[in-house]
Structure 1
Amino acid sequence: MPDPDLRLIESFDEAQQFMTWLGERRTWLAVDTETGGLDWWRERLRTVQIGDTETGWTIPWEMWGGLAKDAIERYTGPTVMHNSKFDLHFLEHNGVKYPRHNLHDTMPMVGLIEPAMAKGLKPASERHVLKGAAQGGRALKSAMSKGKWTWDTVPINLPEYWIYASLDTVLTARLAEKFYPIIEAQYKRAYETEVAVAQVLCDMETRGMLIDPHYVADMSIWLDLQEVDLLGWFRDEVHIKNPMADAQTIRWFQSNGHQFTKRTEKGNLALDSEVLLDIAASDVWYSPVAAGVNRLRDLHKTRVTYFDAFMEFADDNDRIHTQINPMEAITARMSSTRPNLQNIPARKHGKMVRDSFLAGPGNKLISADFDQIEYRIMVSRAGEQNLIDAINGGQDLHTYMTSVVYGKPYEDVQPEERGVMKNATFAFLYGAGNTKFADMAGISINDAVEFRKMYSTQFPAIDHYARTINQLGATQGSVVTGYLGRKQAIWSKKESYKLLNYATQGEAGDVLKAKMVELSMTDAGQYMLLPIHDELLFEVPEEDAEEIKNIIEDVMPENHAFHVPLSVGADIVTRWGDKYS
């Protein structure tokens, strides 16, 4: 391909040239934005870029925003972005009525065809459409450093800036031209779901989740006071000035006779929670110090990661617009940032953190989540008939598996035995070795070895399925999952033991995404707020809560694609944490 023709619009003549160019025939029109930051609700839209495989234009928003708006709204052909949700937010927040029905996205194209490769525009372009695609970014970074500019202050007419911006549209159009025929031939359903779910997520993020600012501030202060008290104890009683500094704490334990053996990947002595728990168990005298370090870390992380972050990212109406990344993980499951709401713990502090979120006046929250979705998918794909029959017969999966492995009546299974089985099944799904398996199941290594033998004997179809997936990972590094026809890959064939987990997680994520798209076309869609793992959160008018709950429970389950139903339970609550009481 010829070198790209990159341009900056600064005059009426250049604007006319752009409109003449826009009227030419092309397969793909690419659209991009440059902004003052990552948060569409509080940062500036600075430029809009429009281009094709040969030409890219940068349009300053403050001077020529009407030109960009008119060009986008009037264009009737297919348009394409890379990570469309980000640009859609900024454009629509600034008044652009984007023709979503014709919008495509090269990020899911890359992610579907090359799931184990970097999905970013520059690395994908380097691999496929333009060697040296990342050089402009490095030149801009250097210029911004010299000028001490930020993304909000760098001059638009700085050549390194507008050339970098214009080029992105050319790269996007070229990637679409290369990848879309493959998408249509091999990944059409998965791609259409990814494009649709990005637009659903855009709307969900726009609504935002309401926090209780007084509760959040109070919890932050309370946790901080707990930290201060504990730091004082370390300083005055233990004589460790800063127990958050690993080096100081390690020296204290060494000076008192403890020998460290575990090291980090960089070769330093390790002081993670596992090491601290081992120290606490090895000597009664060490126990309060080791437990205190763990508690201090826990207090600090909870305060900073959640309550302080909630205050930082709340808008003027006390709503948080977390950024949901639709294909962040290698499994293509969703994640979230600014702030991270995906990693709120299920148990420890889980209710306390979730209580930060509540329904607005006159509203209720509905939390709907799948029942044991990953286990059920694994059982179905493996074709383990007694487990399929048990689930279809209404029996609890983990209780039934426990009764089979331990050879005892279903009704005699104890909660702690069920817990061991649940954790053991998780460990099996994650491809854990004996040591990790024992740790996750809460049993000894010898018991873990015997347990795995019994597991494989009692559930031979699951064992065979796991071995088959493992072999595919070792030989070809990927497997195609059935629900959307997505290729699930691993980073390296040496990690073949991870493929069962990745494939199962990925398929569970695909079910959730497909159901989000279905729900978006019902009366419940306008109320969706957040996907969290296998859960969807809604905020609905109180008088409509039961009706919307019925719609969710009718649409969200998947009753046909697997040998067992992927059932859903929904709860109407005032605070998100109420579900976890």
Structure 2
Amino acid sequence: VGDPSDNIPGIKGIGEKTAVPLLVAYQTLDGIYHNIEAIKGATRKKLEEGREIAYISRELAQIKRDVPIQLDLNACVAHDFDVNAAIELFRELEFRSFINRLMQQTKPQQLDLFTMDSQPETLQPSDNLVDTIIVDDEQKLQALATVLNAAQAIVWDVETSGLDQMQVDLVGIALAVNGEQGYYIPLGHQKGKQLPLQKVMDVLRHPLTNPNIDKIAHNASFDLVVTSRYGIEVTPITFDTMIAEWLRDPDSKFLGLKNFAQQYLGVQMTQIEELIGSGKNQKSMAQMPIEQVSPYAAADAAITYRAAEWLRPKLEQENLLHLYNTLEMPLVPVLASMERAGVALDVAYLREMSQRLTSQLKEIEHQIYDLSGGYGEFNINSPKQLNEVLFEQLNLPVEGLKRTTHGYSTDVNTLEKLRNDTGHPIILKIIDYRELSKLQSTYVDSLPELVNPHTGRIHTSYNQTGTSTGRLSSNNPNLQNIPIRTEIGREVRRAFVAPPGKLLLSVDYSQVELRVMAHISQDKTLLEAFAQDQDIHAATAAAVFGVPLEEVTYEQRSFAKRVNFGLMYGMGAFRLARDSDLTLAEAEKFIQQYFKRLPNVERYIRETKEKARKQGYLETLFGRKRRFNALYNAAHGGRVSQQIVAAEERAAINMPIQGTAADIMKRAMIDVYAALKDKPAFMILQVHDELVLEVPEDALQMTRDLVVQIMEQAFQLDAPLKANAQAGSNWRDMQPL
């Protein structure tokens, strides 16, 4: 059967289901070929055609046990070694637990010698990183209040019982006003001396809400939501070290405070797993002794202060501080308010939908079994069994398919290729089955479990640092992945509802990325189409196909739409041919014609790739940057695979466009949030280019007019921004407004 992971081919068309009975009957490969006459049908033919490859595969798979080698186990024991070099290697490989063990087992004087190129001079041990003060009586609390009220900036960090910011209990608060000392106020530990929660909140409220004292955090949104649930709306939040590191390098591997401190500050902090354990042995923070948690928490606060001091000049040097101060940081309280607000969910509707999906899946399951060529029942979700059905039982062609450890890939791209190449009805059924199954498990059955028992709503978490382009992402649930192109996918949106007396208002940017493309490229065809408020895809089709706008067919418009968006993501002729009915030559000709009619778009693509190669980074219209190291290295003599270069070129073409669109949406969200401060409507969701608000029925028109105006004026483009509004009792059934 071979082993693709080790490049051992095996006999084409022979899988485990066929091979096992043969080996049981004839014991060995030699036994199989000695009795080849007794084997019937297609299996015998495959064995005969694959005889040579079978024996080559056996030779490749056999482990050599007669290699002349002398092994002295004592020589393998690590004796004297270069501790500094070992730590450097472990850091490069991200073997953090190895570094921790080495730190614990190595004499301090050995570590003092360790230096890093262009990095801090010493790696500090994790114990006693900062001076820790446990605030557990009123005298200490008043002394802390005096320090906080006199500070220019305060770092605050909450320790909690879990990760769901809307349900966790507050276990303690860590604070710092410099990088050398941290305070820890225990509040929710199961044992130990602690102050009353309300007393602490009353004392902290003034410094944490004082507009003249800057507030700093690492992943501020989490701390902000938790603290607000306990009655303090921390403000102003002026620096978030996680967002700063991400803005400096959107592809950074050091967004976590511990990783960042180790990489850039030379500080080896205690990992959370070292404190509370992991897996079945993991404890909650509340179960941990105060004496163990306090140095961990105090270090988090003080090291965050150091990180902010390190990052601020870096942002200034790279001309990112203005973007940080005017866009990213003002967005933090906006997202926190949306997370707290949440959205109502029709759980009964989802339960009924799940029952319908279960029945549909059963029906499709039986249809797949009937189309399997007599194979019978099997696990449709098993790639291994699917391989046996498709490529052995049905003998579908495997030319050009990607190999995997189970045989051949059965991912969606492979299935689409098989559907196009063979037209076999089982393929479409498998695609349908997977789509429904994923929809049911990911959303229909999971969403009700995410409803907060205290609020009765779903509170998604927005990730401000989750993409390289600046777009927001979300989880629990992932709103961006809710399908909207299929009817069954749109049914999931039906479950997001407005409470009685209210409506959902959706305001969506119209073709914002194409408008950005028109502005950046200054292509006359695109700019004129937007200026005349034409259907941009129909206008593109008219230009490319050379027909009057009113004569553009549905098929021509759909094709132009695919090309318009595809080219922004670096689509070439091969991809266009694969995704359409065109031959490669026809696809190449179409793209040539497209660029002939829209020459500035072609120029933009060419110049953008060249700029990425030359300077190693690109920017949005707002000044957001992303590095393209592979393109830069390849252009300056480095050895980079063509596959990586091609992928970075596609990303480079898209980055200024999608990044600018993301910046525009963020600017709009900040402005909408400010405008609605004293009004009854509020934002609850942000997905792609869409904002969703919860609005009292009697405030709908006023809110609609205000939000549309703000979104359309968020940024001035030569292809003016346009926003469309619709409203309804749920997220699916909405009427234009």
TM-score between both structures, scaled by the size of structure 2: 0.73
Deviates more, 1:42-51 or 1:115-124: 115-124
State the partner residue of 1:120. 256
Corresponding position: 1:59 with 2:185: yes
- In the aligned structure 1, how far is the partner of 2:406 from the partner of 2:389? 19
Quick one: distance in 2 between partners of 1:80 and 1:230?
Answer: 54
Tell me: CA distance 1:541–1:559, structure 2 relative to 1, closer, same or farther (3 Å).
Answer: closer
**Does structure 1 residue 155 correspond to structure 2 residue 281?**
no
Evaluate the alpha carbon distance shift between residue 97 and residue 536 of structure 1 in structure 2; reply closer, same or farther with a 3 A threshold.
closer
1:213 aligns to 2:347 (yes or no): yes
Find the residue that maps to 1:528 and give its secondary structure.
strand
Give the direction of change, closer, same or farther, for the CA distance of 1:67–1:144 in structure 2 (3 Å limit).
farther
User: What's the offset of the Cα at 1:299?
Assistant: 1.2
Pairing of 1:515-530 with structure 2 (within 5 A):
515-523=668-676, 526-530=681-685
Give a deviation string over 1:414-457, Cα, whole Å, max 9, x none.
12111101111111100123222334456432222111111222
- The 8 Å contact of residues 9 and 58 in structure 1, kept in 2 or not, is answered as yes
Is 2:436 the counterpart of 1:304?
A: no
Amino acid at match of 2:262: E
Q: Does residue 246 of structure 2 align to residue 111 of structure 1?
A: yes
- 2:241 maps to a residue whose letter is T
Q: CA deviation at 1:486?
A: 1.3
Counterpart secondary structure, 1:92? helix
Match in the other structure for 2:385: 248
**Correspondence 1:336 to 2:474:** yes
| Counterpart secondary structure, 2:175 | strand
1:69 aligned residue: 201
Cα displacement string for residues 154-188 of structure 1 (whole angstroms, at most 9, x for unaligned residues): 414362x4433332212211111122234456224
Seen in structure 2, the aligned counterparts of structure 1 residues 27 and 113 have a Cα distance that, compared at 3 Å, is: farther
CA distance in 1, matches of 2:681, 2:140: 38
Distance 1:140 1:231, change over 3 A: farther
Q: Distance in 2 between the 1:267 and 1:24 partners?
A: 64
Q: Which residue of 2 aligns with 1:175?
A: 307
Kindly report which structure 2 residues correspond to 1:478-517, keeping only aligned pairs within 5 A, or say none: 478-482=617-621, 484-490=622-628, 492-493=630-631, 494=645, 495-517=648-670
The secondary structure found in structure 2 opposite 1:342 is helix
Per the TM alignment, residue 131 of structure 1 is displaced from its structure 2 partner at its CA by 3.9
Residue 112 of structure 1, CA deviation: 1.7
Distance change >3 Å, CA 580–CA 226, structure 1 → 2: farther
Match for residue 561 of structure 1? 716
**Which residue, 158, 166, 188 being the options, matches 1:33?**
158
With over 3 angstroms needed to count, the CA separation of the structure-2 counterparts of 1:331 and 1:148, relative to structure 1, is same
Q: Distance in 1 between matches of 2:580 and 2:709?
A: 35
Output the CA distance in 2 between the equivalents of 1:204 and 1:543: 22
Q: How has the CA–CA distance of structure 1 residues 441 and 111 changed in structure 2, closer, same or farther, with 3 Å as cutoff?
A: farther
Q: Is the 8 A contact 1:358 1:576 kept in 2?
A: yes
Do residues 399 (structure 1) and 554 (structure 2) align?
A: no
Report the CA distance between 1:239 and its aligned residue.
1.6
Q: Which residue is 1:258 aligned to?
A: 396
8 Å contact from structure 1 (residues 558, 567) kept in 2: no
User: Which residue among 684, 699, 703 is the counterpart of 1:544?
Assistant: 699
* 1:375 to partner: Cα distance: 0.6
Q: Which amino acid aligns with 1:505?
A: Q
* Closer, same or farther: CA 121–267 of 1 in aligned 2, 3 Å: farther
Matching residue of 1:346:
484
Helix, strand or coil for the counterpart of 1:556? helix
The alpha carbon displacement at 1:28 in A equals 3.7
Q: Which amino acid aligns with 1:53?
A: G
TM-score, normalised to structure 1, is 0.91
Task: Please name the residue that 1:361 is paired with.
Answer: 500
Q: Which residue of 2 aligns with 1:194?
A: 328
SS at match of 2:361: helix
Amino acid at match of 1:447: E
Measure how far apart 1:228 and its partner are: 3.2
Q: Which has the higher contact order (CA 8 A, sep 6+)?
A: 1
Q: State which drifts further: 110-119 or 321-330.
A: 110-119
Judge conservation of contact 1:240–1:252 (CA < 8 Å) in 2: no
1:412 aligns with 2:538: no
* From 304, 307, 314, the counterpart of 2:451: 314
Point out 4+ residue stretches in structure 1 off by more than 4 angstroms.
Answer: 23-27, 232-238, 264-268
Aligned-partner residue type, residue 354 of structure 2 = S
Higher mean alpha-carbon deviation, 258-267 vs 42-51, is at 258-267
CA contact under 8 A between 2:171 and 2:286: conserved in structure 1?
no
- The alpha carbon displacement at 1:4 in A equals 2.8
Determine the C-alpha separation between the residues in 2 that align with 1:449 and 1:276.
25
Q: Which runs of 5+ in 1 are unaligned?
A: none
Alignment partners' CA distance in 2, 1:357 and 1:498: 33
Aligned length: 573
User: In structure 2, the residue corresponding to 1:251 is in which secondary structure?
Assistant: helix
CA distance in 2, matches of 1:144, 1:475: 46
Match of 2:173 in 1: 48
Per the alignment, residue 427 of structure 2 pairs with 290
1:270 and 2:396 aligned: no
Separation in 2, partners of 1:365, 1:383: 37
Q: Say whether 1:4 aligns with 2:129.
A: yes
Counterpart for residue 105 of structure 2? none
User: Contact (CA 8 Å) 2:383, 2:406: kept in 1 or not?
Assistant: no
Offset of 1:26 from its aligned partner?
A: 5.5
Q: Does 1:451 align with 2:590?
A: yes
**Residues 493-523 of structure 1, C-alpha deviation per residue, up to 9 Å, x if partnerless?**
3313311212211110100010111111213
Instruction: Say if 1:152 and 1:54 are closer, same or farther in 2 by CA, change over 3 A.
Output: closer
Change (3 A) 1:49 1:275: same
> What is the alpha-carbon distance in structure 1 between the residues aligned to residue 366 and residue 140 of structure 2?
65
Distance 1:476 1:156 in 2: 52
**Cα distance change, pair 392–442 in 1 and its aligned pair in 2 (3 A):** farther
Residue 92 of structure 1 is matched in structure 2 by 228
Superposed displacement of residue 272, structure 1: 0.8
SS at match of 1:521: helix
Does 1:464 pair with 2:603?
yes
Query: How large is the Cα RMSD of the aligned pairs?
Result: 2.7
Deviates more, 1:51-60 or 1:303-312: 51-60
SS state of the match for residue 365, structure 1? strand
Which ranges in structure 2 are unaligned for 5 or more consecutive residues?
1-119, 189-193, 632-644
Equivalent position to 2:298, from 138, 163, 166: 166
> What is the alpha-carbon distance in structure 2 between the residues aligned to residue 330 and residue 580 of structure 1?
34
Give the direction of change, closer, same or farther, for the CA distance of 1:105–1:560 in structure 2 (3 Å limit).
closer
Decide whether aligned partners of structure 1 residues 309 and 18 sit closer, same or farther in structure 2, where only a CA change above 3 A counts: farther
Q: Partners in 1 of 2:516 and 2:544 — Cα distance?
A: 20
Identity %: 26
